[in-house]
Amino acid sequence: MGVSLNDPSPMSPMERLYEITFRDPPEPQESTPIPLVRVQADEQADIDISGDAFDFVRSIRVYHIQYRQHENRDGDCNRSDSTRLGSYGVQGDYRWTRSNVGQVPAASGLSMPNGCGSYFYRSVFVDWRDHAGNYGSEEVRY
């Protein structure tokens, strides 16, 4: 296009370090203390949520899925299922319980192979029903 740009030559790493070290320091700012906020210590809601209007809270389920299977050299199928289910109680208390991949909703991307092929699946799957009863879910594989 016939255009040229006369960029200054890039600084060497030593020049960049010198530039960063000795350029004008920022003005000191007066520090104000950050107020402390009391965090809920009893692990439940701080208001009464036992009524039907709060069923959507109790509908939230969190599946921590960790499943692995493979066939060893003797032909045995080795399976490991460390799936856990997190859920909320009547007053918003949260708890983890043992679960298994058979309990994971179909909306999850988990798809158990036929037979004992090598398979590994790890994710956090969350599902819920909103205040109107509509189903929703999200899943993050990691």
Joined together, the tokens standing for residue 70 give 């493979």
pLDDT value for 82 = 97
Confidence of residue 45 (pLDDT cuts 50, 70, 90): low
Residue 114 lies in a domain: yes
The predicted model gives 35-39 an average pLDDT of 62
Residue 19 lies in a domain: no
**pTM score:** 0.66
pLDDT value for 1 = 47
How many structural domains is the chain composed of? 1
Residue 110 lies in a domain: yes
Residue 1 lies in a domain: no
Do residues 122 and 108 make contact, with C-beta atoms less than 8 angstroms apart? no
How far is residue 114 from each of residues 37, 76, 77, 118, 119, measured CA to CA in Å? 52, 15, 12, 10, 10
Confidence of residue 4 (pLDDT cuts 50, 70, 90): low
pLDDT value for 16 = 76
Q: Give every CB contact of residue 46 below 8 A, 6+ residues apart in sequence.
A: 40
Domain of residue 100 covers: 52-141
Which segment, 20-24, 32-36, 127-131, is predicted with the most confidence on average? Answer: 127-131
**Cα 85 from Cα 104, distance rounded (Å):** 9
From the list 85, 88, 82, 43, the residue with the least C-alpha distance to 62 is 85
Residue 32 lies in a domain: no
Helices (H), 7-129: 13-22, 55-58
Confidence of residue 107 (pLDDT cuts 50, 70, 90): very high
Confidence of residue 7 (pLDDT cuts 50, 70, 90): low
Joined together, the tokens standing for residue 109 give 């991307």
Tell me which of 36 and 58 has the higher pLDDT. 58
From the list 88, 101, 82, the residue with the least C-alpha distance to 61 is 88
| Residue matched to tokens 């799936």 | 83
The predicted model gives 85-91 an average pLDDT of 94
